[in-house]
Structure 1
Amino acid sequence: MKVFLERLADIQVRHSQKVIVGSVLVTALLATGLPSIQLETDFQSSLPDDLGPIETQDKVESEFRSSSSIIILFQTNDESKEDSFVSDVRSPDMIRMQKDLEEELSSETIVGNVRSSASFFTEVPGSKEEVKRVVEASGSGDQLFNRDFTATQMYVSLEEEMSEENIRKATEKINKNLEQTPKQPGIDITVTGNPVIRTDIGDTLVDDSVTTISIASVLILGLLTLTRGRVYGPITFVPLFIGLIWTLGTMGHLGIPLTIATIALGAMILGLGVEYGSFITERIIEEKDERGSVEEALRSAVPTTGLAILGSSTTTIVGFSALLIASISFIRDLGLTLSIGIALTLVSALVITPSLILEYERWSK
């Protein structure tokens, strides 16, 4: 391995610009995977399929769609000051509104089935007593109404796969139809259900991921600048951030999803990988001060310090690789992405950092 690192150092000394250009091209290529990063917010899908309760729950959801429907909640507002406001959701006016909404939603290609209290009627009932009688006869009142009849639900299932993209499309269609449907006074309407919660979690995951990466980047860059100076600090940070881009791009290309477990991946990679470039930079500076030549400093630092951080990173990767035997999929994904991230930040530190230092020293002379 030391011979390989010596050859790497020789290539960096003779072709530092080509190394930098090649790294930029690799970064651009891997960055194309960033838009392909998938969100996985369905916790149950990450659980082992061979567990009895999980198999039963999957069967129940498949047969009855108990948690795979988008729910539209119609609820009376006690504080409403509108005239003729609805205080009982068994009102014929409520049935009329739900029936109109059912017809509109059923015409949407992405919607598979719509079910509400209006489904029991072919025509709008003439009185609240008729609504009560039909609902009681159906035996499904408990599924659609609460106990005091101040709230009722409409279940909307999708025609296509319950993916994040399809859920968002369906929710958008539902909200659009709700805006166009005449509302009853005193009724608040909310779109909810497990699928909608999943998309909200997905948005939170993305926001938190961007926030944690941004904060970690600013803090690490600031600390590197304080400890390494305003030149060598950014030089050390750039390969680290490139390694992060390589990691996230690889996730997109390999189809590794962003989950609750991997939400802090970016900050973790930055925190764990910063030492590799930092050690390389410090050693090159020390060797340059002793030898007076940045080329000789690089030829000495890369094989020695590179071998040390290679051993350190290997033990870290082996430790994270143990997570690959976990039975829960998002734990396996965490182990895989951390292992990939450590390996790629190591490569970027060994390959890019010395080349950047060499080019800066040559330019500054």
Structure 2
Amino acid sequence: MALKGKISVERALELLASFQYRHYKKIIVAALLITVFLGYGMTLLQFQGDLTKEMPQDVPVFELADKLASTFKGEEFMIIVVSLDEETGAKDLPRDVRDPRVIQSVVELHERLEAEPSIEGVRSIAPVFPNGVPDDIEGVKEVVASTPGAGQFFNRDYSIMLVYADTAVGTDEEKVTEITDIMQKDTEAITKPAGVTYKIAGIAPIIVEIVRLLKGDIVLTTFTAGFAIFALLVVLERSFSRGFIVFLPLIFTVIWTFGTLGLLGIAISVTTGVIGAILLGLGVEYGIFMVSRYYEERQKYEPAESLKIAVSNIGASTFGSAATTTAAFLALTLSLMPMIQHLGQTLAFGITYCWIAASVVNPCFILLEEQIKSRKLAEWLRAWTNGEWMRNAR
């Protein structure tokens, strides 16, 4: 059965090679159109920086965590951390966040934040002082001590005070950035005492920062791997054009894979952020085998026969490799962890695209490159012949 299966695959690939030889330009156009379409899919890519969303949501402990997050707003609040700058050595600076000057600045900040339509609510020490802030720190201490729950906004040594801003932006990068800018402007607009810092924190800004770093890492690792592989291919093949032909399927693979993720709504997380470099490393051998075999056969046969041998033999061998590798990656989709499921799906797509690009599309570019070189050689010979004829005529 295995032998029959291999023979049938080789026979199918022989028919494919004949079709490629006759219609290689049409296949190239179709591949480019697909690349443009999936390139649009890349603009729809989603990024997931919240690792809790990559955990199994139907497991009891995570269900409880979701309920608690929903009840207590989870990451849907942001914090302004008011803290003493201990490195400042100037005199007459607040040494306690209960200093009237600090409290007054927080009252002003509370009022500004409450006036923002994008902020649902503000929680701080400000409501404890409905009749104004006392003139001295002892008066502030007395009010804080006599008000139940007022101590929740301070740390133990009263060097830090917190202001909570309830929002409904979730972890959407654009919305979090917008609300952060609003809070930053309000913070800068208040009268702040010297020696006190006001910093915006919270889970949502952290997630946004993780996504920003993730995007940067994807670009850096993919382009670095691509540049290194392309440079090595040029050196090994001793030809820029041949190195590019080998590298071309990898370009298609990366664009098609990321485009598919965008169209299917599969978010890229910390685990799947490395797939660009992984696919470049795993898929390069398919192109090397196909191009090397074609030019090896080309020394003995015409293009049609060389293509038939290369596609049927190398295509069949790499098909088995791609199929088994894809099956192994698809096994990851059985995991309970969504992040591992997404990794398996992504790599399965990528390896499949590697084989298609190397066995179906790339041979057409090999033919195109050879035809261009043949045409240039023919033009050069024609020009040389005409030149010789003119010299002889003289």
Give the shorter-chain TM-score range. Answer: over 0.9
1:283 equivalent to 2:285? Answer no
Match of 1:334 among 339, 343, 347: 343
* Separation in structure 2 between the aligned mates of residue 348 and residue 208 of structure 1, nearest angstrom: 25
Q: Is the 8 A contact 1:208 1:263 kept in 2?
A: yes
1:175 equivalent to 2:184? Answer yes
- Give the CA deviation at 1:67: 4.6
Q: Give the 3-state SS of the residue equivalent to 1:189 in structure 2.
A: strand
- Give the CA deviation at 1:229: 2.6
Q: Is the 8 A contact 1:92 1:124 kept in 2?
A: no
* Separation in structure 2 between the aligned mates of residue 5 and residue 111 of structure 1, nearest angstrom: 62
Report what 2:323 is aligned to: 314
Report what 1:294 is aligned to: 303
* Separation in structure 1 between the aligned mates of residue 65 and residue 142 of structure 2, nearest angstrom: 33
Q: Is the 8 A contact 1:113 1:159 kept in 2?
A: no
- Give the CA deviation at 1:168: 1.9
Q: Which has the larger radius of gyration?
A: 2
1:42-64 per-position Cα deviation (integer Å, ceiling 9, x unaligned): 11122222333322222222222
Which stretch of the first structure deviates more once superposed, 188-197 or 262-271?
Answer: 188-197
Match of 1:159 among 143, 146, 168: 168
Q: Is the 8 A contact 2:170 2:204 kept in 1?
A: no
- Give the CA deviation at 1:212: 0.4
* Aligned-residue RMSD, C-alpha: 1.8
- Segments of structure 1 that go 5 or more residues without pairing to the other structure are none
Report what 1:95 is aligned to: 103
Which stretch of the first structure deviates more once superposed, 345-354 or 206-215?
Answer: 345-354
- Give the CA deviation at 1:236: 0.9
Report what 2:27 is aligned to: 19
- Give the CA deviation at 1:194: 1.4
**How does the TM-score come out when normalised to structure 2?**
0.88
**How does the TM-score come out when normalised to structure 1?**
0.94
Report what 1:211 is aligned to: 220
* Separation in structure 2 between the aligned mates of residue 66 and residue 303 of structure 1, nearest angstrom: 57
1:117-163 per-position Cα deviation (integer Å, ceiling 9, x unaligned): 11323343123334323333343344311111111111122134443
Report what 1:262 is aligned to: 272
Q: Give the 3-state SS of the residue equivalent to 1:114 in structure 2.
A: strand
1:221-258 per-position Cα deviation (integer Å, ceiling 9, x unaligned): 01111222322111110221111101001111111111
- Give the CA deviation at 1:296: 1.8
1:236 equivalent to 2:246? Answer yes
- Segments of structure 2 that go 5 or more residues without pairing to the other structure are 1-8, 375-394
- Give the CA deviation at 1:334: 0.5
**Structure 2 counterpart of 1:287, one-letter code:** E
Q: Is the 8 A contact 2:171 2:208 kept in 1?
A: no
Report what 1:32 is aligned to: 40
Percentage of pairs with the same residue: 34
* Separation in structure 2 between the aligned mates of residue 201 and residue 137 of structure 1, nearest angstrom: 42
- Give the CA deviation at 1:362: 1.1
Report what 2:365 is aligned to: 356
Q: Is the 8 A contact 2:326 2:352 kept in 1?
A: yes
Q: Is the 8 A contact 2:76 2:169 kept in 1?
A: no
* Separation in structure 1 between the aligned mates of residue 347 and residue 229 of structure 2, nearest angstrom: 19
Q: Is the 8 A contact 1:6 1:299 kept in 2?
A: yes
1:274 equivalent to 2:284? Answer yes
* Separation in structure 1 between the aligned mates of residue 73 and residue 144 of structure 2, nearest angstrom: 21
Report what 1:191 is aligned to: 200
